[in-house]
Amino acid sequence: MPSKRTRLIAGNWKMNNDVPAAKELAEALVEKVPASDSVEVVICPPTIDLACTSHKIAESAIKLGGQNVYWEEKGAYTGETSCGMLKSVNAEYCIIGHSERRDYFHETDEDINKKAKALMAAGITPISCCGESLEVREAGTHVAFVVDQIKKDTEGLTITDPSKYVVAYEPIWAIGTGKTATAADAQEVCGAIRATLAEIFGQETADGIRILYGGSAKPENIAGFLAEEDVDGALVGGASLKADDFAAMVEKAAE
C-alpha cells in the first residue's frame, strides 16, 4: 500500500555559512530544488541566517526551520531563541534533540520534551532527533535505546495533526562520518519507532507521523532508504550544503 505520508527532505546546515554564504546557498537552492507535491523541503540554517534565508526563499516552495529553540517565551536567557522569534521569520519547523546538542551541550530527553511542547503550542513542527551511539549499536541494544528516547521525548504530548510532528532517526555513528546505516538497519529502528508511537498515540496517528533517516545520506544512497516502509524522508547534514546534491536528493524523493 502506498504511504499516505508526504515525504520530507530537511537540510541541517549546522554551524556553517555566514550571512553572505547563506544568501548564496539559499539562492542556489531556490533555483535548483524542484517543486513537487509529493515532497516537502525544509532548510535549517544557523539562527543568525534565518532572517536572510527566509527572505530569499519566500517565493519558493522551500520551507524554513530552526536548529534549536528554548521553551521559555522571553527574558533573561542569553544566547537562546524562542518559538516566537522562529515564527517571526516564518520558520515552520525546528530540529530538536540533535545528537550534537545532546553530546556537546548536554541536552536531556526532558529538555527535548519541553522544546517539543513549546514548539507545538506555537504551531511549529518539531523534527525530534533520536539515535544510538556506536557503543550501544555494538552491544545490540539500539532498538531498546531508541524506543526509550521516543517514550521520554514524547511524554505528555498531544498530537492532533500527525503531519505536525516529525521524528528523525540518526544513528550517531553514521553522522558526518561517511559511514551509513544500511536501509535495513534504518527500517529496523524506524519500524520500532512507529510501533512505539502507535502504542502511545494510536495506530492512525502513528501512521501519519513522518520518520526520517539521517546519517551521511547523499544522492547516491537516498533512494535505498526511501524504499523502506517506515522511512519517509531524510535529515541531511553535509550534503545539504551543496545545492546540486540537495536538489538531487529532493529529485530522488519525488520519483
Active site residue 106: no
String of contacts with ligand PEP for each residue 188-227, x by CB under 6 A: --------------------------xxxx----------
Q: Is position 11 an interface residue for ligand PEP (rule: CB under 6 A)?
A: no
Q: Check 40, 100, 170, 228 and give the catalytic one.
A: 170
Q: Give dist(CA 232, CA 49) in Å, integer.
A: 27
Closest distance of CB 208 from ligand PEP, Å: 23
Q: Is position 43 an interface residue for ligand PEP (rule: CB under 6 A)?
A: no
Closest distance of CB 72 from ligand PEP, Å: 25
Rg over alpha carbons for the chain, rounded to the nearest Å, is 17
Q: Give dist(CA 36, CA 43) in Å, integer.
A: 16
Size of the site for ligand PEP (CB under 6 A): 13
Active site residue 155: no
The grid cell for 4 is 499516505
**Sole binder of ligand PEP in the list 97, 126, 208, 238 (CB under 6 A):** 238
Nearer to ligand PEP, 12 or 53 (CB): 12
Contact 188, 230 (CB under 8 A): no
Q: Give dist(CA 178, CA 181) in Å, integer.
A: 10
Q: Give dist(CA 211, CA 11) in Å, integer.
A: 15
